[in-house]
């Protein structure tokens, strides 16, 4: 019986999903009331995840492992979900009749990703990732005026199922090599057979499913269209919470090889460089803010990979820290987008004109978020980049770090274009005033403080991420 | 090296007064512009007084690091908050205090987005102060990047003349500099095996091999060299200085370029002395080219601010030449030149700013006969121009003299060529003075008012500093020597 305590966060989100499943059966539910319920439940979910962060143990015939690594990511997932639901007060991008389904799918998807970060058995992992993927396919296609964005949903689905096919094939190869689907056996046996091509191919194919979620080059093709085509809240969810789960799994899977395979590391180095360079160069020419952030997310997947491919505990810890930093910064940017585009439209960069007058607080939040993404101190983004680069240099990847820094310089260019629009451009015709309610104001202030605090006093969080990295199997 | 810990934390107090000033400005409503100006003036005044006290309180006979403050910041990474003052950074802290205060006074007439301007301005200066006083590699890098943070908006919002282009170019150049510095810093951190970013521990001889030093020195020299305006990475500097508003040009040319040169000294030379000796020839060559190139290009400019911008490239070449001599005398001259060039450039930009605000042009052919219309404003500019030519009696003379004496001994040919280039500098400065301030006047400007006493205060301070150190150079030189001679003696031969 005691064992079920380990599973409480997941049970909570199952409950939340059931509540909204019930609500979706009813014909008349006031969207305001749904919002309040969703917010309350998501807030409680965050609380529950935090309260159960220190649990440790195994469940379900050792297929499910609860440790600090998984619990840290569960807290990040719950935080991302809470923030996204918080921003749903004006859920104009989605038909009112589908709001209950929207919250239902969000809860299911969060549940699936929580299971994903805890799963230590290959088939469980596969089931969890499919559950979260299918929720996202539906969420993406839920946008109003779906006919305009119909391409988005289909593209996401097609590429997604292709990636899953690769993944299950890779898993089958791994099973062939290791004769077991338990991660603990994989970690034990795989380094001894990693010299064989089948092992590397299996691992890379299995990884491709997570690369797809993480939008690492060349699995990024969906990202710009989906970011642009999905409703703003859904994009935020994909850009923040979903990225956390992907990062956790990439860290876990890459760790399987034990750093023994030169081929695998070379491949990861190449993917990291391509991802950073491609994402940053293409982002320069974007006009749509969400599309720009999509390309920037491709680049950031590359930065995070630098930490992961260091294959050291410090490297994994730095990648976890980077994921945390990325969550906060990206959410800050998306929150500003959702506030300004209250009617749920896509936001062009030029529509930010005069933001510093329309809402100084949002302008500042956006500026700090973007400077953070560019890796300028004293923001959390700098600390993240620093830790990642330090971990890589300890292993002697000097050229990779220099390429990463050059990429950070390139990225500053397009972030500055956005900042320029917010601080410098005068609107051609007056845009409507931005309404900022007091809750959003508090959240903005919290985000600003968090970005600076985590950047200036990273000590406790570095210690936490290192402890989490140590708990990896 | 000898360390004395602080009884009163002067250095943190300087940072604190900047930060408190910044917070105070952010809390004042935007409409109360006069209050914002006064608050800015008071807090920048406090920092000036503090940095002057620090300069005077430094015990020259004792030498070494004084007023040291140390606290562990991120123990798991070996990062500590470690500030100290020695003969190298004291002149620059004083310089920052002077330029900061006079810059605030120079921007007194600003009417557009006053609150945001001073908030960004304070952030910029906080970063510069922090960098000059820090003895921790990590903090030096962080302060370097923090100074980039407000720079883009300061130029892009309040500047003029292709401001967006200038701001973008400057920001990207400086960030590429940091792209070279960060790998070098982490490289040194990882190779030392000491798990610390403390410069004092890392500069002990024998920690890095000669090969490591050569490699890291090159990265650090190029990275900081971009900010120091080393030819051929100087191209951001004239464009950025022209585009920036007056107060920012003052900080930028006056202080921020010194951050680059100081970074070469404090990080590259301190930690990689063997790399320094190895690359000295290259440094001297680039510096000499910079001196000549800046002078010749400056000769052809018709925009007053471009003239100053290129003269800065030339003068920063002198600093680079001093550093390249690998002698105590050269270091003395380089630091002296950093200080005096900072004051002189600030005065030049401040004077041009006044003229530009009245005439709305910086083009030399459109000006003319200004010395009859605004004699006081012209005097300030002419004094600064004379200082830039290296006229004895003004402080710049000593800096250039020391560098050239040191350079003659080590690099005779490059030294002679550089001195000849200084003649060209003198020529173009005189041409500017002649065309803009004498000769036939432009009727359009006949009614313009001259500088009043109050408006002249910042320029008076700057002139006074130039004259003081021109007549009494040992006041500054003794401080610098207390650091340079022990440092050179401590080098492995």
DSSP-derived secondary structure letter, A94: B
Neighbours of B434 (CB within 10 A): 12
Tell me whether B274 touches chain A (CB under 8 Å).
no
pLDDT value, residue B222: 93
Q: Which runs of consecutive H residues, i.e. helices, occur in A284-397?
A: 289-308, 313-340, 355-358, 360-374, 380-394
pLDDT of residue A260: 67
- The two beta strands, B3-5 and A64-66, are unpaired
For residue B69, what are the β-bridge partners?
A: B83
In Å, what is the CA distance from A333 to each residue of A292, A383, B212, B262, B487?
11, 18, 41, 36, 48
What are the chain B neighbours of A423 within 8 Å (beta carbons)?
153, 156-157
Give all strands (DSSP E) within B390-465, no chain letters.
none
pLDDT of the residue at B18 = 94
Are B293 and B225 in contact, with CB atoms under 8 Å apart? no
* Residues in a beta bridge with A17: none
Q: What is the pLDDT of residue A259?
A: 67
Quote the minimal CA–CA distance from A390 to chain B in Å: 6
d(CA A182, CA B489): 64
Q: What is the pLDDT of residues A333-367, one digit of tens each?
A: 998 888 888 777 778 888 888 888 888 888 889 99
Instruction: Tell me how far CA of residue A290 lies from CA of A222, A287, A338, A346, B399, in angstroms.
Output: 13, 9, 10, 7, 54
If pLDDT is split at 50, 70 and 90, which confidence band does A2 have? low
Length of chain A: 473
For the beta carbon of residue A97, count every other beta carbon within 10 angstroms.
12
Q: Is the pLDDT of residue A121 over 90?
A: no
| CA A243-A247-A250 angle, 5° bins | 135
CB pairs under 8 A between A and B: 82
Q: Of A92-96, A304-308, B209-213, B377-381, give the lowest mean pLDDT range.
A: A92-96
pLDDT at A252 over 90: no
CB atoms within 10 A of CB B38: 13
Cβ contact, residue pair A416, B168, below 8 Å? yes
In the block, tokens 């000849």 appear at B420
Band (pLDDT 50/70/90 cuts) for residue A98 is confident
Q: Is A393 in contact with B183 (Cβ distance < 8 A)? A: yes
Sorted by sequence, the CB contacts under 8 Å of residue A462 that are 6+ apart come out as: A317, A321, A387, B74, B76, B77
CB contact under 8 A, A398 and B187: yes
pLDDT of residue B6: 80
Strand pairing of B65-74 and B3-5?
Answer: parallel
**What is the residue-averaged pLDDT of chain A?**
85
Whether B312 contacts B241, CB under 8 Å: yes
Burial class (CB in 10 A: 0-12, 13-18, 19+), B61: exposed
Note whether A245 and A81 are within 8 A (CB): no
For residue A442, count other CB atoms closer than 10 A to its CB: 10
- Model confidence at A1: pLDDT above 60: no
Distance CA B49, CA A136 (A): 61
Give yes or no for a contact between B429 and B385, defined as CB atoms under 8 angstroms apart.
yes
**DSSP 8-class letter at B254:** I
Sheet with B65-74: strands ordered across: B3-5, B65-74, B79-85
List all residues 6 or more positions away from A354 whose beta carbon is below 8 Å from its beta carbon: A425, A426, A427, A431
- The token pair at B390 is 């290296």
- Minimal Cα distance from A395: which residue of B? B190
Q: Does residue A378 have a cis peptide bond before it, meaning omega lies within 30 degrees of 0? A: yes
Residue A195 has pLDDT above 80, yes or no: no
Q: How confident is the model at residue A101 (pLDDT cuts 50, 70, 90)?
A: confident
* Chain B residue with Cα closest to A410: B172
**B255 secondary structure, DSSP code:** I
Q: What is the mean pLDDT of residues A438-464?
A: 87
Count up the domains in chain B and report the number: 1
Question: What's the gap in Å between the CA of A72 and the closest CA on chain B?
Answer: 20
Distance in angstroms (rounded) separating the CA atoms of residues B107 and B349 = 12
Tokens at residue B98, please?
């002077």
**C-alpha closest to that of B180 among B153, B207, B135, B216:** B216
Measure CA of the first residue to CA of the last residue in chain B; give whole Å. 18
- A452 interfacial to chain B (CB closer than 8 Å): no
Least CB–CB distance from A405: residue in B116, B156, B179: B179
CB B76 to CB A462 under 8 A? yes
User: Could you tell me how many residues make up chain B?
Assistant: 493
Residue burial B242-263, b: 16+ Cβ < 10 Å; e: rest:
bbbbbbbbbbbbbbbbbbbbbb
- Angstrom distance (rounded) from CA B490 to CA A65: 58
Would you list the DSSP string of A345-367?
---BGGGGTTHHHH-HHHHHHHH
User: Is the per-residue pLDDT at A174 higher than 90?
Assistant: no
Chain A residues with CB under 8 Å of B189 CB are 390, 393
Rounded CA-CA distance B138/A84 in Å is 35
Residue B343: predicted pLDDT: 93
Here the tokens at position A332 are 């800050």
Q: What is the percent of chain A where pLDDT is above 70?
A: 98
| B441/A contact by beta carbon, under 8 A | no
Coil vs helix vs strand at B85:
strand
Q: Which of A375, A393, A426, A457 is the mutation pick for testing B, counting most B CBs within 10 A?
A: A393
d(CA A33, CA A333): 27
Interface membership of A399 toward B (CB under 8 Å):
no
Instruction: State residue B493's pLDDT score.
Output: 60
Taking the Cβ of residue A458 and every Cβ of chain B, the question of whether any pair is shorter than 8 Å is answered with yes
Q: How far apart are CA A5 and CA B153, in angstroms?
A: 52
* pLDDT grade for A432, boundaries at 50, 70 and 90: confident
Which two tokens mark A467?
Answer: 């402890």
Domain enclosing residue B78, as ranges: 3-489
With 0-12 CB in 10 A as exposed, 13-18 as middle and 19+ as buried, what is A242? buried
Give chain B positions within 8 Å (CB) of A466.
76
Q: What share of chain A is helix, strand, coil (3-state, %, to 5)?
A: 75, 5, 20
Per-residue confidence (pLDDT) for residue B135, from 0 to 100:
92
Mean pLDDT, rounded, for A96-114? 87
pLDDT along chain B (493 residues), means of 10: 82 93 91 91 94 91 88 86 92 94 89 88 94 93 88 87 87 89 90 88 87 92 92 89 88 90 93 92 92 89 88 91 92 94 92 86 82 86 89 89 90 85 85 84 78 85 93 92 89 71
B98/B105 Cα distance (integer angstroms): 11
Contact A355, A272 (CB under 8 A): no
Residue A473 pLDDT class (50, 70, 90 cuts): low
- The answer to whether B264 and B221 have CB atoms below 8 angstroms apart is yes
pLDDT at B290: 92
The encoded tokens of residue A376 equal 């300028």
pLDDT at residue B60, as a whole number: 87
In the stretch 311-340 of chain B, residues with CB closer than 8 A to chain A read none
A291, A337 contact by CB (below 8 A):
no
- DSSP letters for B196-246: --BHHHHTSTTSS-HHHHHHHHHHHHHHHHHHHT-TTS-THHHHHHHHS-H
pLDDT of residue B37: 92
Of B474, B491, B488, B467, nearest in space to B60 by CA = B474
For the cut 60, the answer to whether the pLDDT of residue A147 exceeds it is: yes
B149/A376 CB distance under 8 A: yes
Quick check: B77 and A390 CB within 8 A?
yes
Which structure tokens are listed for A373?
């993404």
pLDDT at A122: 86
């Amino acid at each position: 019986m005691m064992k079920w305590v380990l599973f409480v966060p997941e049970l909570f989100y199952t409950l939340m999903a059931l509540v909204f499943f019930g609500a979706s059966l009813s014909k008349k539910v006031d969207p305001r009331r749904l919002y309040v319920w969703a917010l309350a439940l998501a807030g409680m979910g965050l609380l529950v995840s935090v309260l159960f962060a220190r649990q440790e143990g195994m469940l379900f015939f050792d297929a499910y492992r609860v440790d600090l690594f998984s619990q840290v990511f569960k807290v990040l997932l719950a935080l991302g979900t809470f923030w996204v639901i918080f921003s749903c007060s004006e859920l104009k991008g989605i038909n009112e009749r589908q709001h209950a389904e929207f919250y239902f799918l969000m809860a299911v998807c969060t549940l699936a990703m929580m299971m994903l970060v805890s799963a230590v058995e290959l088939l469980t992992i596969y089931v969890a990732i499919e559950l979260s993927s299918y929720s996202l396919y539906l969420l993406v296609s839920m946008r109003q005026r779906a006919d305009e964005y119909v391409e988005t949903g289909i593209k996401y689905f097609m590429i997604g199922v292709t990636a899953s096919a690769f993944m299950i094939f890779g898993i089958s190869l791994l099973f062939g090599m290791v004769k077991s689907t338990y991660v603990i056996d994989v970690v034990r046996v795989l380094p001894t057979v990693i010299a064989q091509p089948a092992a590397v191919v299996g691992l890379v194919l299995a990884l491709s499913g997570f690369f797809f979620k993480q939008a690492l080059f060349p699995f990024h093709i969906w990202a710009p269209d989906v970011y642009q085509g999905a409703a703003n809240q859904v994009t935020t969810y994909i850009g923040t919470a979903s990225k956390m789960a992907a990062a956790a799994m990439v860290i876990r899977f890459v760790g399987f090889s034990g750093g023994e395979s030169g081929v695998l590391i070379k491949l990861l180095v190449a993917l990291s460089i391509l991802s950073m360079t491609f994402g940053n160069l293409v982002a320069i020419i974007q006009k749509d803010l969400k599309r720009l952030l999509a390309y920037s997310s491709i680049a950031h997947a590359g930065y995070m990979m630098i930490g992961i491919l260091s294959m050291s505990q410090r490297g994994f810890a730095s990648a976890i820290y980077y994921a945390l930093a990325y969550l906060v910064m990206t959410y800050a940017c998306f929150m500003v987008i959702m506030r300004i585009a209250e009617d749920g439209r896509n936001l062009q960069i030029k529509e930010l004109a005069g933001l510093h007058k329309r809402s100084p607080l949002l302008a500042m939040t956006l500026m700090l978020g973007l400077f953070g993404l560019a890796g300028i101190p004293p923001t959390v983004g700098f600390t993240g980049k620093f830790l990642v680069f330090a971990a890589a240099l300890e292993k002697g990847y000097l050229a990779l770090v220099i390429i990463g820094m050059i990429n950070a310089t390139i990225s500053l260019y397009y972030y500055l274009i956005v900042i320029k629009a917010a601080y410098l451009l005068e609107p051609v015709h007056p845009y409507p005033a931005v309404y900022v309610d007091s809750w959003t104001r508090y959240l903005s202030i919290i985000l600003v403080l968090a970005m600076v605090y985590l950047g200036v006093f990273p000590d406790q969080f570095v210690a936490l991420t290192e402890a989490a990295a140590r708990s990896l199997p | 090296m000898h360390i004395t810990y602080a009884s009163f934390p002067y250095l943190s107090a300087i940072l604190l007064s900047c930060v408190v000033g910044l917070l105070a400005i952010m809390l004042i409503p935007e409409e109360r512009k006069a209050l914002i100006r006064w608050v800015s003036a008071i807090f920048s005044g406090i920092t000036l007084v503090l940095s002057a006290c620090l300069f005077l309180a430094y015990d020259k006979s004792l030498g070494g690091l004084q007023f040291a403050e140390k606290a562990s910041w991120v123990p798991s990474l070996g990062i500590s908050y470690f500030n100290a003052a020695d003969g190298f950074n004291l002149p620059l802290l004083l310089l920052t205090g002077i330029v900061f205060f006079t810059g605030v006074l120079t921007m007194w007439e600003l009417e557009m987005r006053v609150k945001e301007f001073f908030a960004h301005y304070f952030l910029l200066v906080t970063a510069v102060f922090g960098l000059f006083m820090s003895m921790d590699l990590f903090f030096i890098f962080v302060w370097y990047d923090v100074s980039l943070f407000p720079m883009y908006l300061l130029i892009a919002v309040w500047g003029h003349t292709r401001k967006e282009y200038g701001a973008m170019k400057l920001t990207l150049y400086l960030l590429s500099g940091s792209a070279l510095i960060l790998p070098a810093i982490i490289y040194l951190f990882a190779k030392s095996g000491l798990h610390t970013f403390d410069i004092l521990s890392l500069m002990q001889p024998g920690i890095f091999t000669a090969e490591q030093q050569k490699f890291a020195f090159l990265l650090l020299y190029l990275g900081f060299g971009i900010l120091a305006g080393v030819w051929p990475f100087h191209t951001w500097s004239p464009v950025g200085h022209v585009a920036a508003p007056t107060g920012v040009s003052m900080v930028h040319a006056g202080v921020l370029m010194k951050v680059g040169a100081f970074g070469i000294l404090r990080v590259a030379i301190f930690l990689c002395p063997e790399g320094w000796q190895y690359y000295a020839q290259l440094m001297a060559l680039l510096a000499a080219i910079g001196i000549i190139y800046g002078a010749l290009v400056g000769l052809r400019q018709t925009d007053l601010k471009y003239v100053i911008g290129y003269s800065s490239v030339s003068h920063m070449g002198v600093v680079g030449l001093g550093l390249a001599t690998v002698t105590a005398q050269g270091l003395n001259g380089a630091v002296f030149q950093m200080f005096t060039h900072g004051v002189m450039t600030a005065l030049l930009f401040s004077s041009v700013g006044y003229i530009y605000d009245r005439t709305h042009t910086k083009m030399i052919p459109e000006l003319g006969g200004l010395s009859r219309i605004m004699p006081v404003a012209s005097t300030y500019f002419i004094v600064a121009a004379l200082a830039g030519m290296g006229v004895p009696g003004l402080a710049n003379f000593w800096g250039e003299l020391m560098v050239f004496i040191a350079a003659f001994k080590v690099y005779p040919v490059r030294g002679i060529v550089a001195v000849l280039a200084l003649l060209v500098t003198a020529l173009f400065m005189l041409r500017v003075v002649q065309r803009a301030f004498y000769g036939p006047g432009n009727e359009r400007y006949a009614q313009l008012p001259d500088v009043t006493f109050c408006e002249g205060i910042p320029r008076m301070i700057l002139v006074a500093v130039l004259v003081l150190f021109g007549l009494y150079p040992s006041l500054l030189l003794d401080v610098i020597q207390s650091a340079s001679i022990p440092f050179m003696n401590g080098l492995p031969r």
